[in-house]
Amino acid sequence: MLGNTVRHAIDHVEVFAAPENISTVTFTNDELTSMCPITEQPDLSTVVIDYVPGEWCVESKSLKLYLWGFRKRAVFAEALAAEIAGEIMLTAKPERVTVTLTQRPRGGIEVKAVSELTG
């Protein structure tokens, strides 16, 4: 996707060879949008993806396009955190990935879900 004009979501992140001496990579996105599976109202979340690369690193533009795919998806915060962690683990094969998803309050309740996987 890098270098191309893309205006649609993609199903998987892309990766590139990890450079030497990189111990951790952290992505933060405070514009993650999904839908409540019950009310179909929009849920706005911040997601922090923290991983220890093995052979591969996640390409950031493809991550943005992957996250776009949740805009019209009805999914609970907990399932969303787990799905993102699973995608990073499957595609980039890091030593460890932690996804922390904080859903903005609706009805006065903030939801924070953490999914951690090890390779």
The pLDDT tens digits of the residues spanning 33-71 come to 999 999 999 999 999 999 999 999 999 999 999 999 999
Annotated catalytic residue: which of 11, 30, 43, 57? 43
Residue 45: how many CB atoms within 10 A of its CB?
23
CA gap 68, 117 in Å, rounded: 23
- Would 63 be classed as within a structural domain? yes
Per-residue HEC secondary structure of 34-73 comes to: EECCCCCCEEEEEEEEEEECCCEEECHHHHHHHHHCCCCC
Beta carbons of 53 and 93 less than 8 angstroms apart: no
Catalytic residue status for 30 = no
- Would 2 be classed as within a structural domain? no
- The whole-number pLDDT of residue 4 equals 63
- The whole-number pLDDT of residue 107 equals 79
CA gap 42, 37 in Å, rounded: 10
Annotated catalytic residue: which of 11, 30, 36, 57? 36
- Would 62 be classed as within a structural domain? yes
In this model, does residue 9 exceed pLDDT 90? Answer: no
Domains contained in the chain, number: 1
- Would 86 be classed as within a structural domain? yes
Residue 17: how many CB atoms within 10 A of its CB?
9
57-106 per-position pLDDT tens digit: 999 999 999 999 999 999 999 999 999 999 999 999 999 999 999 999 88
- Would 103 be classed as within a structural domain? yes
Catalytic residue status for 36 = yes
- What CATH number is given to the structural domain containing 61? 3.30.1130.10
Beta carbons of 46 and 32 less than 8 angstroms apart: yes
- The whole-number pLDDT of residue 44 equals 96
Residue 8: pLDDT band (50, 70, 90) is confident
The whole domain housing 28 covers 18-118
